[in-house]
Chain A
């Protein structure tokens, strides 16, 4: 079974559209993250939730909105997509106590045309 799964794996869409990416972990972890990886492989943290509570909210446009319906799921909704949003988005989870290993999903490659 996949520990951290993301859907979809690929997402191609037009500028201005709204899209969502879903993440689920079956590891029983309390903390989940969203990262954005650009074409140069630079990894930037966007958000983190701990037990459904938002604990990290980096400087991210408010077009991006995370939602955690329960501690096993963390979704990312993006409004009014822009060309610069094209990237690979990774979900990750981590057990407590902090610090511990982060487990990453396979990524969602978003292409905005």
Chain B
């Protein structure tokens, strides 16, 4: 079945450091890929998405590129801030069918001042 694998956290960085959170997926066909972010005490919110191979999603300085050949959708940011501290979820869904999203296990990011 479809699945999403994320790197284990927590990831702890100093402010202005470079961030990479790895995400790989297993799915047949061409799923859509998402990154969601959950700030403390809140629900998840969409950070960025990509719906086809080689698409790059970007938002708030975060980027991720849909790599079909490596089945990956790694999240990157050039310079993190304390306010980026949150839990990040990679997710996929099929373009049709069951209306079901598959979420990764989440990666907690802590950014220290």
Render A78-112 as a binary contact track against B, CB cut-off 8 A, 1 for contact. Answer: 00000000000010101000110111111100000
Q: Count B interface residues, CB 8 Å.
A: 26
Smallest beta-carbon distance B93→chain A, Å:
4
Also in contact, A55 and B98, with CB within 8 A (given A90-B43, A98-B93, A106-B42): yes
Number of interface residues of A (CB under 8 A): 23
Of B12-20, B74-82, B99-107, the one touching chain A:
B99-107
Given A41-B106, A42-B105, residue A50 in contact with residue B43 (CB < 8 A): no
Q: Report Cα–Cα, A99/B97, bound state, in Å.
A: 10
B27 in the interface, Cβ–Cβ < 8 Å? no
Residues B98 and A42 in contact, CB atoms below 8 Å apart: no
Interface residues of A (CB under 8 A from B): 4, 31, 40-43, 45, 48, 50, 55-56, 90, 92, 94, 98-99, 101-107
On B, residues with C-beta under 8 Å from A are 32, 34, 36, 38, 41-46, 49, 51, 87, 89, 93-96, 98-101, 103, 105-106, 108
Q: Add 13 more A-B contacts to A42-B106, A94-B99 (CB < 8 A).
A: A41-B38, A43-B44, A43-B106, A45-B101, A90-B43, A90-B44, A98-B96, A99-B32, A101-B46, A102-B46, A103-B45, A105-B43, A107-B43
